[in-house]
Amino acid sequence: MAATVALTASMRSNVVSLQLTETLINRTQDRLSTGKKVNSALDNPTNFFVAARHTQRANDLLGRKDTMGEAIQTIKAADAGITGIKTLLESAKGLVESARSATTADRSALGTQFSQILLKINDLIEDADYKGTNYLENGSLTVLFNEDGSNALTITGFTANVGASGLGVAASGADISAGGTSLDAAASQITVALTTLTTQASILASNLSIVSARQDFTTDLSNVLKEGADKLTLADMNEESANMLALQTRQNLGVTSLSLASQAAQSVLRLF
């Protein structure tokens, strides 16, 4: 049978007090080292799991924010394409006006330039792609805004190529060379095409505003959620530092008190 050591009541009371103080010191050291008052569900189950949900939602929203950023770039690519098409159409319209007062030989040269511009417009449209989405070739993209995807925006483009299926510019270099009423028809088609581009650019700009607003909102909401999680789990470093000083003082006093209690037992030795 193992031998046991019997402690006096006062000594045992001091030992228990020191053990409790040591536990509190360890807890305070953990808070000071991690900066958190809730490091696990054992510290505070309610705060721990609520903070975890806040943090998870914030991370999910930040993932959506990246998608929104890509959608914004896709819209910007389309807008750059529309700007380029407008510039080329304005040049084509200038050729039409020049052909009105040109000689037959000059109109032939202008017609060749006109056809070249129309070809370059279609080349430009093909290059307005961003990550597989081209709003100038009737592409579409669905942008998810919240963590479960229940709030979303589908952005649909249009067909911007020249021709009856797109902007409606059916005129060709031959029409410019022919002169006469063909020039009026070509000028009218280009004017309609420019109006269509302006309308579509306005629609894209509206979608861009929506996505940008949701991106800013997502950033703000994520910060709010993280701040809420921090308030539930972070420790007050000033308070914990003060607690550590107080506990260290209590520990020193406990050791001194235990020493005094042991002296009562030692006094028995003086009887011998």
Read off the pLDDT of each residue in 180-202 and give the average, rounded to a whole number: 93
pLDDT, residue 193, reads 94
CA neighbor of 28 nearest in space, from 240, 173, 248, 250: 240
* Cα separation values, 189 from 89, 107, 227, 230, Å: 10, 19, 57, 61
Read off the pLDDT of each residue in 37-50 and give the average, rounded to a whole number: 85
Q: What is the mean pLDDT of the chain?
A: 85
Separation CA 70–CA 55 (nearest Å): 23
Binned at pLDDT 50, 70 and 90, residue 54 comes out as: very high
- The better pLDDT of the pair 52, 255 is held by 52
CA neighbor of 21 nearest in space, from 271, 263, 266, 256: 256
Separation CA 228–CA 223 (nearest Å): 8
In the structure encoding, which two tokens stand for residue 155, read together? 């952005």
**Could you tell me the domains of the chain?**
54-232 (1.20.1330.10)
pLDDT, residue 142, reads 94
pLDDT in tens, 4-35: 655 666 667 767 777 787 777 777 777 777 77
pLDDT in tens, 68-118: 999 999 999 999 999 999 999 999 999 999 998 888 889 899 999 999 999
Q: Contact 261/10 with Cβ under 8 angstroms?
A: yes
Separation CA 125–CA 114 (nearest Å): 17
pLDDT, residue 16, reads 75
Region for residue 141 given its phi and psi (left: phi exceeds 0; alpha: psi -120 to 50; beta: otherwise):
beta
Read off the pLDDT of each residue in 162-181 and give the average, rounded to a whole number: 86
Binned at pLDDT 50, 70 and 90, residue 205 comes out as: very high
Facing residues of 137 across strands? 159
